[in-house]
A and B are shown apart, each in its own frame.
Chain A
Amino acid sequence: MQVVLDNLDVVLKAFGYTIALFLVSGTIALVLGTVLVAMRVGPIGVLRRFAATYVTLVRNTPLLIVLMFFSIAAPKLGIRFTWLDVHIGQWDFTSFFGAAVAGLSLYTSTFVCEALRSGVNAVPLGQAEAARAIGLPFGGVMSQVVLPQAVRASVPPLASALIALLKNTSVAAVFGVAEAVSRMRALTNNFPGDRWEIFVAFALGYVILVEIVSAIAIFLERRWRVA
């Protein structure tokens, strides 16, 4: 453990990048996923098919390939993230970070879309019919009856998607973001004798982060659960 404690600043900074990747791509993925699910369950056939095709294609592509596209292929097409050059204190958010966020958000948005869709599907048809029968207008049906139930039912699958994103941020290590896994690899190379300790420390870091997200999800689910 001594190695980890000696390099605690490095370890914490690495997890800081992990958390930054998670928060930024998570937010973008939630927004994109919501737009996608609106197209996916909406009444416009063209948009529905487009969203379905997009989700199927992206979801079946390995995340590594998606990130590879943004860091290797996209520059050849003139899509570069060099405009991103933010330095906050000792934190650097450069093109590597931008490419990773783009890939992670697009990939995760498809899972967010599916999570939200399963929530909408979980609302029984009779709920909307009953709401209309008592004379609620469309806005009322949505805001008072359908969406509250759909959001509740989406919490567990949404949490799964976000936890997967948290673990998937590790793939950014392959493309030059100094987050936890890339730091772990560097540390194990520098201190080969203490590999297991380093691994256990980083694994615990991930376990803690995952448990935090999981706890928030369970809290929300309990809170929103109908009696």
Chain B
Amino acid sequence: MSAGSVLFDAPGPRTRARHRVYSFVGAALIVAGVAYAVWRLWDTGQLTYERWEPFVTPRYLEAILVDGLLQTLQMAALAIVAALVFGLVFGVGKLSEHRPVRWVSWLVVEFFRAVPVLMLMILSFFAIFSGVDEIQRRAYWSVVLALMLYNGAVLAEVFRAGILGVPRGQAEAAYAIGMRKTQVMTEVLLPQGVKIMVPAIISQMVVALKDTSLGYYILAPGLTALVKPLYQGFNNHVAVILVIGGMYVAVNLVLTAIATWVQRRYVGEKDMLKVSAVGEQGGGMDGGPAPTN
């Protein structure tokens, strides 16, 4: 079971006996912890039927799925599609031969990666979209814009790393047979780079989806917007947060599974492409799955 670890040898009989004791104690502690948590929930009356009723009532369930989940997914999807365009423009821009283009792209990417998403949302809501009268729509698009800017900046790095990941001979060969700069990029580099970018892009969707929840601060629609009305109506603070959180986790797990599958299927066992959060950190960014947020 632990044959492949650098941290310890394959255990002998005495170590195995010791590990059995640790396993037993560990399992007992975990069970005790879970039992205490459940008892705590039960003792404070959080497990009563009335508090969970809205989640088995079709009318409320429909509201949660349509007004909540669907809106959240829509915002995340729009943001990612926009971010792909944004990322492609600035990612390729960072590789441009023209210094001003490279410089501007670098500035834009670094700026939006360093600034908190919540801040971008507030800016969008109070400054950029301040002309929009309908508050719901204004908040909705503020969330989409903020997520586009942040995730676009991260995806720009993904695109750049993906394009740079294509062996140099490919571009050289393409130039040698007389292709032009744009052709080399669109016909040779991008199609090959996309393969290693796709898992990283799907991982970024997880980040975007999680960050849609920040729309709560500007009263945007989506799953988190339902939390308050639900607990005000049913006094079920704990249940609401567990269910809404669980829905985010479920969607994210599906996305992660897709990313892993794509990685296995199209890229092989190589580590997923990773880009640093901020700044040009030299080397060593490989290893470890999934994104940092």
Contact = CB atoms under 8 A, between A and B. Distances in A.
Interface stretch (A1-9, A23-31, A84-92, A200-208): A200-208
Interface of A: 41-47, 50, 56-57, 59-66, 68-69, 72-73, 76-78, 111, 114-115, 117-125, 127-128, 132, 138, 142, 146, 152-153, 155-157, 159-161, 163-164, 167-168, 170-171, 173-174, 181, 184-185, 188-189, 192, 195-196, 199, 202-203, 206-207, 210-211, 214-215, 217-218, 221
Interface in B53-101: none
Given A168-B116, A171-B118, A195-B126, A45 B287 contact: no
Given A72-B237, A122-B287, A167 B7 contact: no
B26 to A, nearest CB: 5
A122 B206 contact: no
A63 B118 contact: no
Contacts of B276: 156, 159-160
Nearest to B126: A188
Contacts of A174: 118, 214, 216-217
Nearest to B212: A62
B27 interface: yes
B46 interface: yes
Interface of B: 1-2, 4-9, 11, 19, 22-23, 26-27, 30, 40-41, 44, 46, 110-111, 114-119, 122-123, 126-127, 206, 210-214, 216-217, 224, 227, 231, 237-238, 240-242, 244-245, 248-249, 252-253, 256, 274, 276-279, 281-290, 292-293
B7 A41 contact: yes
A26 B58 CA distance: 43
21 contacts: A50-B30, A60-B256, A65-B213, A73-B237, A78-B40, A115-B292, A120-B6, A127-B6, A146-B7, A156-B281, A156-B283, A159-B276, A164-B292, A167-B114, A168-B116, A173-B118, A206-B116, A207-B111, A210-B114, A218-B279, A221-B282
Contacts of B1: 43, 45
A157 B284 CA distance: 9
B26 A60 contact: no
A108 B283 CA distance: 23
A203 B119 contact: yes
Given A157-B292, A174-B214, A207-B115, 20 more contacts: A41-B5, A43-B2, A50-B30, A62-B248, A68-B227, A77-B41, A77-B44, A78-B44, A118-B288, A125-B4, A127-B6, A132-B9, A142-B7, A156-B284, A188-B126, A203-B111, A206-B116, A210-B278, A214-B278, A214-B281
